[in-house]
Each structure stands twice: as C-alpha cells, then as structure tokens.
Chains A and B, each alone.
Chain A
Amino acid sequence: MKNNPKRILVLLYAITAIFLAMCLYLVYFQLFTAPKIIGNPYNRRNYVDETLIRRGNFYDMYGRALTHTIDDAGHLLDNPRSYAHIIGYNSEEYGKSGMERTYNSTLLGLSQDDLFGKFKDIVQGQVGNDIYLTVDDDLQLYCYDLLEGHKGAIVVLDPSTGAIRAMVSRPSFNANEINALWEEIIEDEDAPLLNRASQGLYTPGSVMKVITAVAIMESDIDQNYHDTGEQTIDGYTYFNYLEAVHGDIDLQDALVHSVNTYFTKKSTEVGYALLREVADRFYFNSAIPFELVTSISEAYTKPDMSENEIAAAGFGQGDTLVTPLNMALAIGAIGNDGVMMRPNILQEIRSPRGVATFTSVPQMLSRVTSPSLAARLTVDLVETVNTGGAATLSGVHVAGKTGSAENISGYSHAWFVGFAPAERPELALAIVLEEEGQTGAAAAAPLARRIFQYMLSE
C-alpha cells in the first residue's frame, strides 16, 4: 500500500474546499436566489401568510400616503383610478398587478432578514414593508385629470435620474373594486387593464424625427436639402403635411417645420446600419429594465428593409412602434447631455420600523449620443417649440417635438415629447393621445404646456 500522508492531505484540502464552497453557495442562494423565488405562486407559504400580515402601504416621493390599511391585512388606494396602473390591484381571485405584484414579497415582509423585526412580528403580528414611489402625487392626479375624455398615456420623468414623476394611462379602472368589476373590465374593448404608458405600442410619427436627426447629425451626409413639397423614393412619393413647400432648408428647419420629404430622403442617405445603431442606443428593440411590465419598442427590425421602408421609418411611420415610456426616456436623454437613465418608480423600501432598507440609486442605461450633439439638437428642439407655439412658456425654454402618427384606425395619434427647462431639464415627458384624430400640435402640445406650467412656474 502506498503510505503517503501528502495524498491524504490533498484529499482533505479538496473536501474542505467543497464544504466551504457549499456554505458560500448557501449564502449566495439566500442573497440572490431567495428573493427571486420567494414570491412564486407555488410557494404555499404566501397564501397562509397574506391574511395574517398587515400589507405594507404606498407613499409618494414626499411621503404622502397613497394607500391606507383598511382591515387586518389589505389596503385600499386613495385614488384607485389614477394609480390603477402603477400600484395596481391585489385580488385573491384575480391575482395582482403593478407594484402590488412586483413587490409582493416586500409588501408582505417575506424577504426581510431583520432579527429584531422578527421578534416584533412574533409579539405583534407580522407587518410588511412600506414602499415609497418616485411619483409626485399632485402631478400624477393633475396628469390623470388632463387625460379626461382622451385615450392615451402621459409619462413624466426626471431625465437626470430616471425617476418617474407621473405615469398615467387612460381609460383606467377602479383598482379597489377589481373583484366586482372584473368581467366588465376584461370585456371592455378599450382594454383598461393595459398600462398604455409602458405597454402600449404606438406608431410614433414625427416625434421619431428626433432620433432620425441624431443619426443624420452623426453621419457625414450633406444636411442641406431643397424641398419641392414632394420626394419620390423607389417609385413612391412622399408629401409634407398640408402639402407645404419649404425650399432650401437645413436640419433645424426640417425639425421646426416637420418636413417629411427631408427625413425620407436623408434616412435613405444615412442608411440602415447607422439608423439601427442609433435606434438601439435609444433602447429600441431591447427590453428596458423597469419595475412594471414594459413592452419592447420596435424600429428598423428587419436588416433587409427596402429604401421605401427606411424612408417611412425615418419619419416614424411604417413598422415602427414605440412605448410612451421609451419616448420620454429618449427625449430626456437629449436634454441630459446624451445620457439615458434607467427608469425607476421605486424610490425606497422602508421596514415597519421606518428604516430605509433599500434606496434606489440612479443608473445610466445608455449613452445615446455625444454631449455636444445633444446640445445642438436641444437648440433645434427649442426653436421647434417656439415656432410651433403650442407648448411655449414665458420665462422657461421648452424643447420638444410634436407628432401626428397615421395608423390603421384612420384617426391619427397625437404626440408630444419634450423637456424643460431646456438648459437644465427638470422634467421630460411623452404624451400620446390615441386615435385622437388631431395633430400633436393641436391636441398634445397644449397638455405638455400645462404640465410644465404646473410644475415649473412659481
């Protein structure tokens, strides 16, 4: 027999390493895997617990209560319609939506690892964590009222942090009465359950010209153009809105007057590769990380697009589909020196004892373009708003772009995207009025003006 102590020692070291690795894995599991699986519907612990736990409440960015505990376990929304898509519903029969769903285990306090909290739970009964949103309650209610009588969505955010200040989708529903209204809600053809702000996919129309403009500025093509009121590409002829003729123009003029012919021609000159690359930087075609369910915007998805399809996509028609959230982030990125921030609606999680156990930190999502290019584009967008007039404010420079998107319904979507103050934006927003049948300038821009006025004028 080989009698070599070294070999036994090697074996011992190996086994020790495996045992220690097992301990490390257990810690890893507890830190990273456990929070992900604990809210799983197959985890029966959640069902027994929910009726015993006082569910955490929601607050806005200033600590104003958005929900109130009504009995031992559940809570009701103070404004169940304006927060139906953010906070969402919580029903034993129909499940959960919105933040109620995303942060279910937090609200139930299931993931808390707080020794003193545990002792308290045993003595007093379990209490869930409270959630503080980035939303400004006043603004949220104001925006909800603005959309009265419209279908559509408004997203207002702080472009320097990505914090959502308001997110409204209409038609809405009473989230407190979900059990009674369920049948009615799901049969409604206007789909009130859909959060149009993050899940709605709309043809962008002229607001897409902002992104096309970035591609044109980054390319080395000639930015001047002679407009004759029509532009033929591959046998198909494009006209301007109201068949206007603009003569010799540059990019700024093209944005200010929303010249379709200019953008169709220049898009084909820029070409597919750069247009797609710029669109990808604006987070089209990939999932935007966000606490609520979010659709993926689509632009330049097919590498074998024809000249015609590129021309249509260049001014936001064709197969291009975007979410209002994506457009708010995109226009915000122009105002934020070309940096797109990760959107977030969760500001803080506080334990039942009022201690902040999680505070969100602003994260960069993408650098969409260079700071100098973003600054030049901002000047153009301020000029666009000043000329259009509908969104101007006295004393504050607003940068933005309107859009009127043709779609299969025959009634165009009215868009406005913009930010203000242009020099150091505090707010960026996207407004879409679905199948409004009016132009963005006529219908959406005045709403933007009122929001900016409400928030920025003293």
Chain B
Amino acid sequence: MDRFIQSPMKQRLISARWMTLLFQLLSLSLVLIYQRETLTPRSLGFSGLLIVLTLLSQFLVNLFHQADSYLLMIANMLFSIGVILIYRLSSYYGYRQLIFYTLGIALFFVAYFLLEGTAGFWVKKICFYFFGAAALLVLTLLFGFVSGGAKNWIEIGGFSFQPSEIAKVPFCFLIAGFYSNRERVRKRKGGKYFLMAMTYILIALFFLQRELGTAMVFMAILFSAQVAFEEDKKLIFLNVALAVIGMVAAYYLFGHIRTRVDIWIDPWVDMDGRGYQITQSLFGIAAGGFFGTGLGLGHPQYIPLAYSDFIFSAIAEEMGTFMGIAVIMLYLILVYRGMKISLAQPHAFYKVLALCISISFAAQALIMIGGVLKLIPLTGITLPFMAHGGSSLVTSFVLLGILFYCSNAALEVPREE
C-alpha cells in the first residue's frame, strides 16, 4: 500500500479509536450514576471489560496493515451504543451480550485466518452452500421452537440459537460461488435460473417459519447481486416480477402477513393489542426529541423488546434523534466501505462476497429501522451489532471478519485461480 496514503490514514484511525473510548467513558459513567443504588463490583467489571475488549480488538486489527481497520471500528462503535443501552435496561442481558461479543470478536479473527489459509477452497462449493443453508432451515422446522411469533429457534446441548441468522453466511457464499463460476453453471441446462430457484426455495422455508424479515434480507441480497453482476438483465426483471407476485400472493395466502400489513397501515385502532409494539416504539422515539431524555431518564422499558427488536427506538428515546441519525450514518459508512472493498477486490468470488455481506448489513439495518419507525411493516429481525442476541451478533462479526479478509485481499496482487 502507498506510504503516502497510509500515514495520515493511520492518524485518523487513532483519533477514531479515541472517539469510541470517549463515548464509552461518558455513557458508562451515566449508566453507573443511574444504577448508583444497586452498584456492584460486577458493574465496574462490565465497564472495564467492554473498554478493554474494544481497545484490544482495535489494537489487533491495526496490526493488519493491508486490511480495512475501519470496519471493526464502526462495528465496535455500534456495538458499544447498543450494549450500553442493553446494560442500562437489564444488566443480565448486558453481560450476556458482552460474552457474545467476546465470542464474536474471536470468530471474526478465526474467519479471517481460515479464509487466508484456504482462499481457493471456497470458490466452487455452490451446492454445499445451498444444502448448508437449507439444512439449517429444515432443522429449525423439524426441531425448532417458537419464540416471538416465529419458529426460528433451535436448542443443542443447552444452547439455543437461531439457524436463520447463521444461514446468512452460506447464502452469501452461495451467491458468490454462483457468479464467480457463472460460465460453468451456465453450460448446464437451465443453469442461469439456478441461483434464483435456490433462493426461492430458501425463502419458501422462511415463510414456513414465519421469518418474514430474513426472507426480505435474502431477497435484497439476491436482487442487489443481480443488479451488480447479472449479465442477463431479463433475469433481474423476472426476479422483481416474481417478488411482487410473491408478496401479493403471500398477503392473500397467509393471515399473519395480512395482520402485519394491517397493523402497519393503522396501528392506532388497536393500541392495546396488535398495534401495541409499534405505537409504544413511536411514543418512545417521540419522547426522546432531538437530544434524548438522557441515559436512565427515559422510559424505554415501556417499549416491548427494547433490548432487541426495538433497540433503535430505545436509543432514540434516551440518546435522542441525533444519535439515531448517527447510528444510521454509521451503518451507511460501514456499507459504503464494504462496497468499496467489493469494487477494489479483483478476485471475482470475494468481490461478490464483499458486496453480499455489505448488502446484508444494509438490508437488516433498513428493514429494522424502517420497521420501528413505521415506514414499512414491522418484522422481527435484528439490528446488526446492536440488538441483543447471540446468533445475530456472532454471525454479524463472522460476516465482518469475511469482509475484513476481502479488504485485505483487495489490496494485494490479484490471485485468480
């Protein structure tokens, strides 16, 4: 990498790292003041651990001179905002989230080194990815249990997790494999429809689980990948047409989808019942104003699932609309850098992969923030890096690790097979 670019960039990185630290120190002291009556050594332990872990992860990431250190820095900032609010709502969920974060950071580096060691291995395993993703979803259907309206949880050895979150990883690989091996797949009969067919099967499985949000994320990834890489423009239009038909059909076929759309159109008629969540979310955001009520001074506990699905509303209430905008901008910068990596990456497989991962972050953020703002119907997915939830947080860090690898390779000499 060019030395002339590197040194000022390095300086900016350092100041960015201090920004995260500054935010953590200020907001953690507010939380500690708020919890002053129930303060335990564990509270200080939480604060210390959060600061140490983020600093350590950023220090480690800076050792990779060739890769984009901003990625983890942005994720750390988003995570800090989220976890501090979660901790303020419930210290138990706060600790849990910090443990998931530790695991996530570890897997971030594992993903990086795994790809570095076996970069060529992953390129051609298209069917493996599809069956991997499908198996996760089928397993959930067979052995899963219902939580929060969707049957998307599975329990193994005392640990419960959401396979639909994890399925995002093989799905991104599937698209990358398809487009980087396009010529080979095309030779087969009907080969060019292969990706769409597989995606629709996965989306059908999501519908059976009532996982509407993740289905929308998958659709967004497929559509974006087509816009960026599809040679046959007819396929893009076909996909859009099918998606529209599918949405209309789903509206008439499934009662729970109709319900969601009805709530979205007018939640005010049933504020006690089905419209409760979204109206409480809007009250929360409205109560915060532009500057927020201040940490510990609002009532985000009135919003159902304020620590997970509705974390954005809780942040807007206590930290203000300006923080809400800051969060949206952080996601935008993350997505922007991801797509820049995709542009710079010469290796076809990792180019597509970087784009898919960026889109997955963008789609999740937009669908979830749009949902709690009542811009679009509400679906139960998670805000990447912010919402409470192990599967989601760990998966997001794995995807980020893969993106981190793509950024590293982007700066090296192309290594086409």
Contact = CB atoms under 8 A, between A and B. Distances in A.
Interface of A: 1-5, 7-12, 15-16, 18-20, 22-23, 25-27, 29-30, 33-35, 37-38, 40, 42-45, 48, 110-113, 115, 118, 122
A8 B343 contact: yes
B231 interface: yes
Nearest to A22: B328
B55 interface: no
A112 B302 CA distance: 21
Contacts of B342: 8
Contact of B289 (A4, A12, A34, A42): A34
Interface stretch (B210-218, B330-338, B383-391): B330-338
Contact of B299 (A2, A48, A115): A48
B75 interface: no
10 contacts: A3-B351, A11-B224, A12-B335, A19-B329, A26-B325, A30-B286, A37-B279, A43-B287, A45-B283, A113-B290
Interface of B: 179-180, 182, 224, 227-231, 271-272, 279, 282-283, 285-287, 289-291, 293-294, 297, 299, 302, 316, 321, 324-325, 328-329, 331-332, 335-336, 339, 342-343, 348, 351-352, 355, 359, 362, 366, 369-370, 373, 375
B272 A115 contact: no
Nearest to A30: B321
Contacts of A115: 291
Nearest to B321: A30
Contact of A2 (B229, B271, B291): B229
Contacts of B179: 1
A445 B342 CA distance: 83
Contacts of A37: 279, 282-283, 286
Query: Which 6 pairs show the lowest CB-CB distances between chains A and B?
Result: A34-B286, A113-B289, A43-B283, A19-B332, A42-B271, A2-B231
Contacts of B325: 23, 26-27
B297 to A, nearest CB: 7
B4 to A, nearest CB: 24
A188 B328 CA distance: 57
A113 B293 CA distance: 10
Nearest to B233: A2
Nearest to B344: A5
Given A18-B366, A19-B332, A25 B289 contact: no
Given A15-B335, A19-B331, A7 B229 contact: yes
A38 B348 contact: no
Contact of A45 (B228, B291, B299, B336): B299
B224 A1 contact: no
Contacts of A122: 294, 297
Given A7-B227, A16-B332, A42-B271, A22 B290 contact: no
A155 B362 CA distance: 58
A19 B366 contact: yes
A224 B388 CA distance: 83
Contact of A33 (B271, B286, B339, B362): B286
A15 B289 CA distance: 26
B108 to A, nearest CB: 23
**Highest count of chain A CB atoms <10 Å: which of B272, B283, B316:** B283
B375 A22 contact: yes
Given A19-B331, A23-B325, A29 B285 contact: yes
A160 B324 CA distance: 44
Nearest to A19: B332
Contacts of B362: 15, 19
A291 B201 CA distance: 56
A11 B339 contact: yes
A26 B373 contact: yes
Nearest to A43: B283
Contacts of B229: 1-3, 7
Contact of A118 (B291, B329, B375): B291
Contacts of B283: 37-38, 40, 42-45
Nearest to A21: B375
Nearest to A10: B227
A64 B316 CA distance: 39
A115 B290 CA distance: 9
Nearest to A111: B289
B272 A44 contact: no
B357 to A, nearest CB: 13
A56 B329 CA distance: 38
B289 to A, nearest CB: 4
B298 to A, nearest CB: 8
Contact of B328 (A10, A19, A111, A118): A19
B317 to A, nearest CB: 9
Contact of B343 (A5, A20, A42, A118): A5
A286 B362 CA distance: 47
B276 to A, nearest CB: 8
Contact of A1 (B271, B290, B352, B369): B352
A110 B272 contact: no
Contacts of A8: 228, 339, 342-343, 355
B302 A45 contact: yes
A290 B120 CA distance: 72
B231 A29 contact: no
B308 to A, nearest CB: 20
B287 A45 contact: yes
A7 B228 contact: yes
Nearest to B289: A113
Given A7-B228, A23-B328, 11 more contacts: A2-B229, A8-B355, A12-B336, A15-B339, A26-B328, A33-B282, A34-B285, A34-B289, A37-B282, A118-B291, A118-B293
B269 to A, nearest CB: 12
Given A19-B331, A26-B373, A38 B321 contact: no
B191 to A, nearest CB: 13
A221 B411 CA distance: 89
Contacts of A16: 332, 336
A4 B286 CA distance: 43
B285 A42 contact: no
Contacts of B373: 22, 25-26, 29
A123 to B, nearest CB: 12
A340 B137 CA distance: 67
A52 to B, nearest CB: 12
Contacts of A38: 283, 286-287
A119 to B, nearest CB: 9
B230 A2 contact: yes
A443 to B, nearest CB: 46
**Highest count of chain A CB atoms <10 Å: which of B279, B328, B342, B352:** B328
B348 A30 contact: no
B349 to A, nearest CB: 10
A9 B227 CA distance: 10
Contact of B321 (A4, A10, A26): A26
Nearest to A16: B332
Contacts of B348: 1, 3
A37 B374 CA distance: 13
Contacts of B285: 26, 29-30, 34
A8 B272 CA distance: 45
A111 B287 CA distance: 7
A26 B291 CA distance: 13
A78 to B, nearest CB: 32
Nearest to B326: A23
A15 B337 CA distance: 13
B264 to A, nearest CB: 15
